[in-house]
Chains A and B, each alone.
Chain A
Amino acid sequence: MVKIILRNQEYEVRAGMTLHSALKKLGILPEGVLATRNGEMITEDEILREGDVIKLISVISGG
Protein backbone atom coordinates (compact mmCIF):
# COMPACT_ATOMS: atom_id res chain seq x y z
CA MET A 1 0.00 0.00 0.00
CA VAL A 2 0.93 3.66 -0.36
CA LYS A 3 0.41 6.14 2.43
CA ILE A 4 -0.69 9.67 1.50
CA ILE A 5 -0.56 12.37 4.16
CA LEU A 6 -2.32 15.74 3.98
CA ARG A 7 -2.08 17.91 7.10
CA ASN A 8 -3.27 15.60 9.91
CA GLN A 9 -5.10 13.15 7.64
CA GLU A 10 -3.67 9.89 6.41
CA TYR A 11 -5.00 7.94 3.43
CA GLU A 12 -4.02 4.65 1.84
CA VAL A 13 -4.13 3.75 -1.83
CA ARG A 14 -2.92 0.79 -3.83
CA ALA A 15 0.58 0.83 -5.32
CA GLY A 16 0.86 0.93 -9.11
CA MET A 17 -1.44 3.86 -9.77
CA THR A 18 -0.25 7.32 -10.75
CA LEU A 19 -0.28 10.20 -8.29
CA HIS A 20 -2.94 11.85 -10.43
CA SER A 21 -5.20 8.78 -10.17
CA ALA A 22 -4.60 8.55 -6.43
CA LEU A 23 -5.55 12.19 -5.88
CA LYS A 24 -8.65 11.77 -8.03
CA LYS A 25 -9.65 8.69 -6.06
CA LEU A 26 -9.25 10.61 -2.80
CA GLY A 27 -11.14 13.65 -4.13
CA ILE A 28 -8.13 15.95 -3.77
CA LEU A 29 -7.64 18.59 -6.45
CA PRO A 30 -4.07 18.46 -7.79
CA GLU A 31 -4.15 22.25 -8.20
CA GLY A 32 -4.38 22.72 -4.44
CA VAL A 33 -1.43 20.58 -3.39
CA LEU A 34 2.22 19.75 -4.00
CA ALA A 35 3.34 16.17 -3.56
CA THR A 36 6.68 15.08 -2.13
CA ARG A 37 8.30 11.68 -1.77
CA ASN A 38 11.37 11.49 0.47
CA GLY A 39 11.45 15.29 0.46
CA GLU A 40 11.56 15.53 -3.36
CA MET A 41 8.70 16.96 -5.38
CA ILE A 42 7.02 14.59 -7.80
CA THR A 43 4.73 15.23 -10.77
CA GLU A 44 1.23 13.83 -11.24
CA ASP A 45 2.30 11.14 -13.73
CA GLU A 46 4.58 9.49 -11.15
CA ILE A 47 3.66 5.86 -10.45
CA LEU A 48 3.30 5.19 -6.74
CA ARG A 49 5.33 2.26 -5.43
CA GLU A 50 4.64 -0.17 -2.63
CA GLY A 51 5.64 1.37 0.70
CA ASP A 52 5.78 4.95 -0.61
CA VAL A 53 4.88 7.72 1.79
CA ILE A 54 3.62 10.74 -0.13
CA LYS A 55 3.37 13.98 1.76
CA LEU A 56 0.95 16.51 0.31
CA ILE A 57 1.50 20.18 0.98
CA SER A 58 -1.58 22.36 0.80
CA VAL A 59 -0.81 25.50 -1.19
CA ILE A 60 -3.95 27.56 -0.65
CA SER A 61 -3.70 30.37 1.83
CA GLY A 62 -5.54 33.60 2.31
CA GLY A 63 -8.01 35.46 4.38
Chain B
Amino acid sequence: MKCRKCGGKAAINMRQHKLALCREHFLDWIPEQTERFIKKYRMFTREEKILVAVSGGKDSLALWDILWRLGYQADGLYIALGIDGGIAYSAESQRLTEAFAAERGLKLHVVDMARDYGHTIPQLAEVTRRGQDKPCSVCGLVKRHEMNRIARDLGYDVLATGHNLDDEAAVLFGNTLRWAGEYLVRQGPVLPASPGLARKVKPLCRFYEREMAAYALMRGITYIYEECPFATGATSIYYKELLNRLENDRPGAKLSFYLAFLQAKKEGLFASRSEEVVPLLNTCPTCGQPTSAPGQCSFCRMMARVSAEEA
Protein backbone atom coordinates (compact mmCIF):
# COMPACT_ATOMS: atom_id res chain seq x y z
CA MET B 1 0.00 0.00 0.00
CA LYS B 2 1.33 3.43 -0.96
CA CYS B 3 1.20 6.81 0.71
CA ARG B 4 -1.34 8.96 -1.04
CA LYS B 5 0.86 12.04 -0.68
CA CYS B 6 4.30 10.82 -1.78
CA GLY B 7 3.82 7.33 -3.20
CA GLY B 8 6.22 5.86 -0.63
CA LYS B 9 5.46 2.83 1.52
CA ALA B 10 2.41 3.48 3.69
CA ALA B 11 2.65 2.93 7.45
CA ILE B 12 -1.07 3.26 8.15
CA ASN B 13 -4.30 2.81 6.24
CA MET B 14 -7.33 4.73 7.49
CA ARG B 15 -10.18 2.96 5.73
CA GLN B 16 -12.82 5.43 6.92
CA HIS B 17 -11.02 8.18 4.99
CA LYS B 18 -9.78 5.92 2.16
CA LEU B 19 -6.39 7.35 3.07
CA ALA B 20 -3.05 5.57 3.46
CA LEU B 21 -0.03 7.59 4.60
CA CYS B 22 3.65 7.02 5.23
CA ARG B 23 5.12 7.79 8.64
CA GLU B 24 6.28 11.28 7.71
CA HIS B 25 3.02 12.37 6.14
CA PHE B 26 0.91 10.80 8.90
CA LEU B 27 2.90 12.76 11.49
CA ASP B 28 2.11 15.95 9.54
CA TRP B 29 -1.52 15.02 8.93
CA ILE B 30 -2.47 14.51 12.60
CA PRO B 31 -1.54 18.03 13.80
CA GLU B 32 -3.04 19.58 10.64
CA GLN B 33 -6.33 17.84 11.32
CA THR B 34 -6.19 18.68 15.04
CA GLU B 35 -5.76 22.34 14.15
CA ARG B 36 -8.74 22.08 11.82
CA PHE B 37 -10.93 20.59 14.60
CA ILE B 38 -9.76 23.20 17.14
CA LYS B 39 -10.86 25.95 14.75
CA LYS B 40 -14.03 24.23 13.51
CA TYR B 41 -15.40 23.74 17.01
CA ARG B 42 -13.89 27.02 18.33
CA MET B 43 -12.10 25.21 21.13
CA PHE B 44 -9.43 27.81 21.97
CA THR B 45 -7.03 30.33 20.48
CA ARG B 46 -3.26 30.73 20.66
CA GLU B 47 -3.75 33.54 23.20
CA GLU B 48 -5.51 31.28 25.69
CA LYS B 49 -3.88 29.16 28.40
CA ILE B 50 -4.65 25.46 28.07
CA LEU B 51 -4.47 22.85 30.81
CA VAL B 52 -4.07 19.36 29.36
CA ALA B 53 -5.22 16.51 31.62
CA VAL B 54 -2.53 13.86 31.19
CA SER B 55 -2.70 10.31 32.49
CA GLY B 56 0.47 8.82 30.99
CA GLY B 57 -1.65 7.03 28.37
CA LYS B 58 -1.27 7.33 24.61
CA ASP B 59 -4.13 9.75 23.98
CA SER B 60 -3.36 12.44 26.54
CA LEU B 61 0.38 12.41 25.86
CA ALA B 62 -0.27 12.50 22.11
CA LEU B 63 -2.61 15.46 22.63
CA TRP B 64 -0.02 17.36 24.66
CA ASP B 65 2.63 16.60 22.04
CA ILE B 66 0.38 17.82 19.21
CA LEU B 67 -0.56 21.07 21.00
CA TRP B 68 3.12 21.67 21.80
CA ARG B 69 4.07 21.09 18.15
CA LEU B 70 1.32 23.48 17.03
CA GLY B 71 2.66 26.18 19.36
CA TYR B 72 -0.22 26.40 21.83
CA GLN B 73 0.33 27.44 25.46
CA ALA B 74 -0.37 24.05 26.95
CA ASP B 75 0.63 22.94 30.45
CA GLY B 76 -0.08 19.50 31.87
CA LEU B 77 -1.97 18.25 34.90
CA TYR B 78 -1.30 14.78 36.26
CA ILE B 79 -3.39 13.35 39.10
CA ALA B 80 -1.55 10.64 41.05
CA LEU B 81 -4.38 8.28 41.95
CA GLY B 82 -2.33 5.81 43.96
CA ILE B 83 -3.43 2.72 42.00
CA ASP B 84 -0.97 -0.13 42.17
CA GLY B 85 -2.72 -3.29 40.94
CA GLY B 86 0.49 -5.26 41.24
CA ILE B 87 2.03 -3.34 38.33
CA ALA B 88 2.75 0.02 40.04
CA TYR B 89 0.21 1.48 37.61
CA SER B 90 0.09 5.04 38.97
CA ALA B 91 3.79 5.25 39.81
CA GLU B 92 4.76 4.15 36.32
CA SER B 93 2.29 6.41 34.54
CA GLN B 94 3.54 9.37 36.62
CA ARG B 95 7.15 8.54 35.78
CA LEU B 96 6.36 8.41 32.06
CA THR B 97 4.39 11.67 32.20
CA GLU B 98 7.17 13.47 34.04
CA ALA B 99 9.76 12.14 31.59
CA PHE B 100 7.60 13.31 28.67
CA ALA B 101 7.30 16.82 30.13
CA ALA B 102 11.01 17.03 31.01
CA GLU B 103 12.09 15.97 27.49
CA ARG B 104 10.09 18.83 25.98
CA GLY B 105 10.60 21.41 28.73
CA LEU B 106 6.86 21.55 29.46
CA LYS B 107 5.24 22.61 32.72
CA LEU B 108 3.49 19.80 34.60
CA HIS B 109 1.27 20.24 37.66
CA VAL B 110 0.90 17.18 39.87
CA VAL B 111 -1.94 16.53 42.31
CA ASP B 112 -0.98 13.61 44.52
CA MET B 113 -4.05 12.20 46.26
CA ALA B 114 -2.07 10.51 49.04
CA ARG B 115 0.10 13.58 49.67
CA ASP B 116 -2.55 16.27 49.20
CA TYR B 117 -5.62 14.52 50.63
CA GLY B 118 -4.14 11.71 52.71
CA HIS B 119 -5.85 8.94 50.71
CA THR B 120 -5.39 7.12 47.44
CA ILE B 121 -8.38 6.43 45.19
CA PRO B 122 -8.73 2.77 46.28
CA GLN B 123 -8.58 3.90 49.93
CA LEU B 124 -11.27 6.54 49.36
CA ALA B 125 -13.47 3.94 47.65
CA GLU B 126 -13.01 1.52 50.52
CA VAL B 127 -13.72 4.04 53.27
CA THR B 128 -16.76 5.52 51.55
CA ARG B 129 -17.94 2.18 50.12
CA ARG B 130 -18.78 3.92 46.84
CA GLY B 131 -18.82 1.84 43.66
CA GLN B 132 -18.92 -1.59 45.31
CA ASP B 133 -15.69 -3.44 44.47
CA LYS B 134 -14.42 -0.89 41.93
CA PRO B 135 -13.20 2.63 42.65
CA CYS B 136 -14.13 3.95 39.19
CA SER B 137 -16.93 6.25 40.36
CA VAL B 138 -14.70 7.75 43.09
CA CYS B 139 -11.93 8.12 40.52
CA GLY B 140 -14.21 9.98 38.10
CA LEU B 141 -15.53 12.25 40.84
CA VAL B 142 -12.02 13.11 42.07
CA LYS B 143 -10.66 13.73 38.58
CA ARG B 144 -13.54 16.04 37.60
CA HIS B 145 -13.19 18.01 40.82
CA GLU B 146 -9.41 18.33 40.75
CA MET B 147 -9.17 19.15 37.06
CA ASN B 148 -11.64 21.97 37.49
CA ARG B 149 -10.00 23.19 40.72
CA ILE B 150 -6.54 23.44 39.16
CA ALA B 151 -7.87 25.04 35.96
CA ARG B 152 -9.76 27.65 37.97
CA ASP B 153 -7.18 28.32 40.70
CA LEU B 154 -4.27 28.64 38.28
CA GLY B 155 -6.13 30.77 35.76
CA TYR B 156 -6.39 28.43 32.79
CA ASP B 157 -8.92 29.35 30.11
CA VAL B 158 -9.66 25.83 29.04
CA LEU B 159 -9.23 22.22 30.09
CA ALA B 160 -8.31 19.79 27.30
CA THR B 161 -8.70 16.02 27.53
CA GLY B 162 -7.45 13.30 25.21
CA HIS B 163 -10.79 11.65 24.43
CA ASN B 164 -10.67 10.07 20.98
CA LEU B 165 -13.50 9.09 18.66
CA ASP B 166 -13.71 5.57 20.04
CA ASP B 167 -14.17 7.00 23.55
CA GLU B 168 -16.87 9.34 22.30
CA ALA B 169 -18.62 6.73 20.18
CA ALA B 170 -18.65 4.27 23.10
CA VAL B 171 -20.17 6.86 25.45
CA LEU B 172 -22.68 7.86 22.79
CA PHE B 173 -23.59 4.21 22.20
CA GLY B 174 -24.13 3.61 25.92
CA ASN B 175 -26.20 6.76 26.33
CA THR B 176 -28.27 5.92 23.26
CA LEU B 177 -28.99 2.42 24.51
CA ARG B 178 -30.40 3.99 27.66
CA TRP B 179 -31.82 7.07 25.87
CA ALA B 180 -30.04 9.13 28.50
CA GLY B 181 -31.19 12.52 27.20
CA GLU B 182 -29.50 14.57 29.89
CA TYR B 183 -26.13 13.06 28.96
CA LEU B 184 -26.69 13.10 25.21
CA VAL B 185 -27.38 16.80 25.30
CA ARG B 186 -24.08 17.53 27.04
CA GLN B 187 -21.85 15.37 24.83
CA GLY B 188 -19.74 17.13 22.23
CA PRO B 189 -16.28 18.42 21.33
CA VAL B 190 -16.75 21.48 23.58
CA LEU B 191 -18.51 21.89 26.90
CA PRO B 192 -18.78 25.66 27.33
CA ALA B 193 -17.63 27.32 30.54
CA SER B 194 -20.25 28.10 33.14
CA PRO B 195 -19.89 29.99 36.42
CA GLY B 196 -17.17 28.15 38.38
CA LEU B 197 -16.62 25.51 35.70
CA ALA B 198 -13.83 25.72 33.12
CA ARG B 199 -14.51 25.17 29.41
CA LYS B 200 -13.74 21.59 28.47
CA VAL B 201 -12.56 20.54 25.03
CA LYS B 202 -11.67 17.30 23.25
CA PRO B 203 -9.37 18.12 20.32
CA LEU B 204 -8.86 14.44 19.41
CA CYS B 205 -12.56 13.58 19.28
CA ARG B 206 -12.51 12.84 15.54
CA PHE B 207 -9.47 10.57 15.51
CA TYR B 208 -9.83 6.83 15.89
CA GLU B 209 -8.10 5.29 18.89
CA ARG B 210 -5.96 3.30 16.45
CA GLU B 211 -4.68 6.54 14.93
CA MET B 212 -3.69 7.95 18.30
CA ALA B 213 -1.81 4.78 19.18
CA ALA B 214 -0.09 4.99 15.78
CA TYR B 215 0.79 8.63 16.38
CA ALA B 216 2.31 7.85 19.80
CA LEU B 217 4.24 4.94 18.34
CA MET B 218 5.57 6.86 15.35
CA ARG B 219 6.49 9.89 17.47
CA GLY B 220 8.39 7.65 19.88
CA ILE B 221 6.17 8.62 22.82
CA THR B 222 6.58 6.11 25.63
CA TYR B 223 3.17 5.70 27.24
CA ILE B 224 1.74 3.33 29.79
CA TYR B 225 0.66 0.34 27.73
CA GLU B 226 -0.90 -1.53 30.62
CA GLU B 227 -4.56 -0.89 31.22
CA CYS B 228 -5.75 0.47 34.58
CA PRO B 229 -6.17 -2.68 36.71
CA PHE B 230 -9.73 -1.63 37.49
CA ALA B 231 -10.68 -1.26 33.80
CA THR B 232 -10.89 -5.02 33.25
CA GLY B 233 -14.40 -5.86 32.14
CA ALA B 234 -15.41 -2.22 31.80
CA THR B 235 -18.56 -1.60 29.80
CA SER B 236 -16.82 1.10 27.75
CA ILE B 237 -14.28 -1.45 26.49
CA TYR B 238 -17.08 -3.86 25.60
CA TYR B 239 -18.84 -1.13 23.62
CA LYS B 240 -15.60 -0.26 21.85
CA GLU B 241 -15.14 -3.87 20.81
CA LEU B 242 -18.72 -4.03 19.52
CA LEU B 243 -18.24 -0.84 17.54
CA ASN B 244 -14.97 -2.14 16.12
CA ARG B 245 -16.77 -5.23 14.83
CA LEU B 246 -19.19 -2.91 13.08
CA GLU B 247 -16.30 -0.79 11.79
CA ASN B 248 -14.55 -3.86 10.45
CA ASP B 249 -17.55 -4.68 8.26
CA ARG B 250 -18.51 -1.10 7.47
CA PRO B 251 -15.51 1.23 7.44
CA GLY B 252 -16.46 4.67 8.68
CA ALA B 253 -19.41 3.46 10.80
CA LYS B 254 -17.95 4.82 14.07
CA LEU B 255 -17.13 8.17 12.56
CA SER B 256 -20.52 8.61 10.93
CA PHE B 257 -22.30 7.53 14.14
CA TYR B 258 -20.57 10.33 16.04
CA LEU B 259 -20.71 13.00 13.33
CA ALA B 260 -24.37 12.33 12.53
CA PHE B 261 -25.11 12.70 16.25
CA LEU B 262 -23.32 16.07 16.37
CA GLN B 263 -25.24 17.19 13.28
CA ALA B 264 -28.56 16.07 14.75
CA LYS B 265 -27.78 17.93 17.96
CA LYS B 266 -26.84 21.04 16.01
CA GLU B 267 -30.14 20.87 14.16
CA GLY B 268 -32.01 20.89 17.45
CA LEU B 269 -32.89 17.25 17.98
CA PHE B 270 -32.15 17.58 21.70
CA ALA B 271 -32.49 21.37 22.08
CA SER B 272 -35.88 21.73 23.74
CA ARG B 273 -35.14 18.94 26.20
CA SER B 274 -31.85 20.58 27.18
CA GLU B 275 -33.60 23.68 28.46
CA GLU B 276 -35.72 21.57 30.75
CA VAL B 277 -32.96 19.48 32.27
CA VAL B 278 -30.16 21.97 32.91
CA PRO B 279 -30.05 22.08 36.70
CA LEU B 280 -29.76 25.29 38.67
CA LEU B 281 -26.21 25.29 40.01
CA ASN B 282 -25.37 26.10 43.59
CA THR B 283 -21.96 26.86 45.10
CA CYS B 284 -20.24 24.44 47.45
CA PRO B 285 -19.53 26.31 50.72
CA THR B 286 -16.29 24.33 51.24
CA CYS B 287 -14.50 24.45 47.88
CA GLY B 288 -16.51 27.05 45.98
CA GLN B 289 -17.15 24.79 43.01
CA PRO B 290 -20.62 24.57 41.46
CA THR B 291 -22.89 21.77 42.62
CA SER B 292 -26.36 20.76 41.51
CA ALA B 293 -27.80 20.47 45.02
CA PRO B 294 -27.59 23.02 47.85
CA GLY B 295 -24.78 22.37 50.36
CA GLN B 296 -21.46 20.68 49.82
CA CYS B 297 -20.50 19.20 46.46
CA SER B 298 -20.08 15.41 46.11
CA PHE B 299 -16.30 15.63 46.45
CA CYS B 300 -16.39 17.66 49.68
CA ARG B 301 -19.15 15.46 51.11
CA MET B 302 -17.00 12.42 50.42
CA MET B 303 -13.93 13.97 52.04
CA ALA B 304 -16.01 15.05 55.07
CA ARG B 305 -17.32 11.51 55.42
CA VAL B 306 -13.79 10.12 55.30
CA SER B 307 -12.69 12.55 58.01
CA ALA B 308 -15.70 11.64 60.17
CA GLU B 309 -15.05 7.91 59.83
CA GLU B 310 -11.44 8.40 60.88
CA ALA B 311 -12.25 10.63 63.86
Instruction: Please state if A63 and B11 are interface contacts (CB–CB under 8 Å).
Output: no
Interface: A51 (CB within 8 A): no
Interface: B103 (CB within 8 A): no
Chain B contact residues, majority secondary structure: helix
Given contacts A31-B244, A31-B248, contact A63 B217 (CB under 8 A): no
Contact with A along B246-276 (1 / 0, CB 8 A): 0110000000000000000000000000000
Chain A residue nearest in CB terms to B2:
A43
| Interface segment out of the listed B36-44, B70-78, B206-214, B297-305 | B206-214
Contact with B along A22-41 (1 / 0, CB 8 A): 00000001111110100011
Q: Which of A36, A42, A60, A62 has the most CB of B within 10 A?
A: A62
Q: Which residues of A contact B58 (CB under 8 A)?
A: 59, 61
Instruction: Please state if B248 and A63 are interface contacts (CB–CB under 8 Å).
Output: no
Q: Which residues of B contact A30 (CB under 8 A)?
A: 248
Instruction: Please state if A62 and B245 are interface contacts (CB–CB under 8 Å).
Output: no
Chain B residue nearest in CB terms to A44:
B13
Instruction: Please state if B209 and A60 are interface contacts (CB–CB under 8 Å).
Output: yes
Given contacts A61-B209, A62-B234, contact A32 B244 (CB under 8 A): yes
Q: Which residues of A contact B102 (CB under 8 A)?
A: none
Instruction: Please state if A62 and B13 are interface contacts (CB–CB under 8 Å).
Output: no
Q: Which residues of B contact A62 (CB under 8 A)?
A: 166-167, 170, 231, 234, 236-237, 240
Name the one of A31, A41, A61 contacting B12, with C-beta atoms under 8 angstroms: A41
Expressed in whole angstroms, the Cα–Cα distance for A46 and B247 within the complex equals: 21
Tell me how far the C-beta of A13 lies from the nearest C-beta in chain B, rounded to whole angstroms: 19
Tell me how far the C-beta of B167 lies from the nearest C-beta in chain A, rounded to whole angstroms: 6
Chain A residue nearest in CB terms to B170:
A62
Instruction: Please state if B217 and A41 are interface contacts (CB–CB under 8 Å).
Output: yes
Q: Which residues of A contact B170 (CB under 8 A)?
A: 62
Interface: B218 (CB within 8 A): yes
Tell me how far the C-beta of A50 lies from the nearest C-beta in chain B, rounded to whole angstroms: 20
Contact with A along B41-71 (1 / 0, CB 8 A): 0000000000000000111000000000000
Contact with B along A41-58 (1 / 0, CB 8 A): 111111000000000010
Expressed in whole angstroms, the Cα–Cα distance for A28 and B11 within the complex equals: 19
Instruction: Please state if A32 and B1 are interface contacts (CB–CB under 8 Å).
Output: no
Instruction: Please state if A34 and B217 are interface contacts (CB–CB under 8 Å).
Output: yes
Q: Which residues of B contact A31 (CB under 8 A)?
A: 208, 210, 244, 247-248
Instruction: Please state if A32 and B228 are interface contacts (CB–CB under 8 Å).
Output: no
Expressed in whole angstroms, the Cα–Cα distance for A20 and B58 within the complex equals: 24
Q: Which residues of A contact B136 (CB under 8 A)?
A: 63
Q: Which residues of A contact B237 (CB under 8 A)?
A: 60-63
Instruction: Please state if A63 and B234 are interface contacts (CB–CB under 8 Å).
Output: yes
Contact with A along B229-247 (1 / 0, CB 8 A): 0110010110011001101
Expressed in whole angstroms, the Cα–Cα distance for A43 and B22 within the complex equals: 10
Name the one of A29, A34, A43, A46 contacting B213, with C-beta atoms under 8 angstroms: A34
Chain B residue nearest in CB terms to A57:
B213
Chain A residue nearest in CB terms to B231:
A63
Given contacts A31-B247, A62-B167, contact A45 B1 (CB under 8 A): yes
Chain B residue nearest in CB terms to A39:
B217
Expressed in whole angstroms, the Cα–Cα distance for A57 and B248 within the complex equals: 17
Query: Mind listing 27 A-B residue pairs with CB under 8 Å?
Result: A29-B245, A30-B248, A33-B210, A34-B217, A36-B217, A40-B11, A41-B217, A41-B218, A43-B12, A43-B20, A46-B1, A57-B213, A57-B225, A59-B58, A59-B213, A60-B209, A60-B240, A60-B241, A61-B59, A61-B209, A61-B227, A62-B166, A62-B231, A62-B234, A63-B231, A63-B234, A63-B236
